[in-house]
Amino acid sequence: MSNYQIIAATGCPTGIAHTFMAQEALEQAAKRANVTIKVETHGQVGVENELSAEDIAGADAVIIAADKDVHPERFIGKKIIDVSVSKGIKEADQLIAEALAGKGSIKYPNSGQVSQPQVMADEKSSIGRKIYKDLMNGVSHMLPFVVGGGVLVAISFLWGIYSADPESVQYNQIAAMLKDIGGLSMGAMVPILSAFIAESIAKRPGLVVGFVGGMIAANSGAGFLGGIASGFLGGYVIILLGIAFKALPKSLDGLKAIFLYPVFGVLITGVIMYFLVIPMTAVNEGMMSFLAGFQDSNPIILGLLVGCMCAFDMGGPVNKAAYVTGTALLAQGNHYFMAGVSAACIAPPLITGIAVLLFRKYFDATDRNAGIVNIILGSTHITEGAIPFAAKDPLRVLPIMMIGSSIAAILTYLMKVQVPAPHGGFLVLPVVTGKIAWVGAILLGSLVGGVLLGLLQKRKYEKANGIAE
């Protein structure tokens, strides 16, 4: 089967870890099956190892392991196996076997035209997965704006909490400049989120419609929930316009793209959003107030919830729900919630590192090396390094991760730590309010989780080697 050609595309919302872990897993699985594969990655720096027209034309099968838009409309006439990025990591051998068996579906037949926006009915994947992929396409493009802006705003606080206020004695011109630049970047969060949700649904014509809808949501106070609503609204407005304009002659395709789609799309989406923003603003403000109230009235329950969410799928949709909520609150000046989210995200990889250090002889060489690397990954807020450990025994390892993350988050909330940066792990420690308490909370949660994981591995090792209890 060495002449059998497989191409693949991988992508995760953050574009940091899952994307490349899926790439490596698919390449190793193809090597074991003695077939050729080329994997295109859609990471945070952009598209790498890009598939050429020749690669696509010569491919016998296509595997998409992504939770974001990787432009599948390119694969005309090809059988496509479309799964989540986590399946690309955990089930790579099965995906390669399915590709060799000719499984998958032709979503873009040779006779079809891809110039019109594609409706979700074109995909055989579930409605829930389609919605998630569209949402994560928005989140993945939004994150660099949040991280870049958030870190700059956080750095401005080094001169003092009020260093950007001209009326304060702490005022510093450099701090004020950094806060302005960072604030502009953070302010683009909702429009970018909305724009790329719409782009995932309706391709390029959806971009401008989603962006304008997101601007309306941001300016009205509807926040990121309004941005999500405007993104989906704008995308499907373009889909409906594509159906309505189908009767127009082919010679007007250029006019549709440059004039009809943006004018009618922006008009319809904008008018609808003007009526939606009032209830959306109420919902957004209510949710934020509820969460902010929780951190004061019952930090233990909030920490337990955040810890379990962040460790449950380590970079997946549940984790992202907590993270996006934290970034939204951060944009509103709440630095407490993100402190717990960051602690809970840092803990899982540190748990694996502590486990392999304390229970070294019970882990194989691969796990020992991975655990050491995870100490570095965890320290920089990259949770995904813990996934290989969890994938081997999810029913027992995931609860351990959730316990460790919950302890870290609960202690962070109890000690009222503030983290004004949305990413960076211990690299942003200089701007953290309550540095020692935050590091201590994370290390204690990681230590508890590390000991539990090590004891679990010890038990499995002894059982496998017939050592009496």
Identified catalytic residue from 12, 308, 310, 345: 12
What is the C-alpha separation between 465 and 469, in angstroms, rounded? Answer: 11
Residue pair 316/380 in contact (Cβ under 8 Å)? The answer is no
User: Maximum CA pair distance of the chain?
Assistant: 80
HSE-up of 428 (CA within 13 Å, CB side)? 29
Spatial neighbors of 229 by CB under 8 A, at least 6 apart, are: 217, 222, 273, 276, 280
The verdict on whether 12 is a catalytic residue reads: yes
Residue type present at position 192: I
Residue type present at position 33: A
What is the C-alpha separation between 251 and 457, in angstroms, rounded? Answer: 66
Residue type present at position 158: L
- The edge-to-edge listing of strands for the beta sheet with 61-66 is 46-48, 36-43, 5-11, 61-66, 79-83, 105-106
Residue pair 104/123 in contact (Cβ under 8 Å)? The answer is no
End-to-end CA distance of the chain: 48
The conformation of residue 69, written as its DSSP 8-state character, comes to -
Q: Is 93 helix (H, G, I), strand (E, B) or coil?
A: helix
What is the C-alpha separation between 102 and 93, in angstroms, rounded? Answer: 14
- Catalytic amino acids? 12
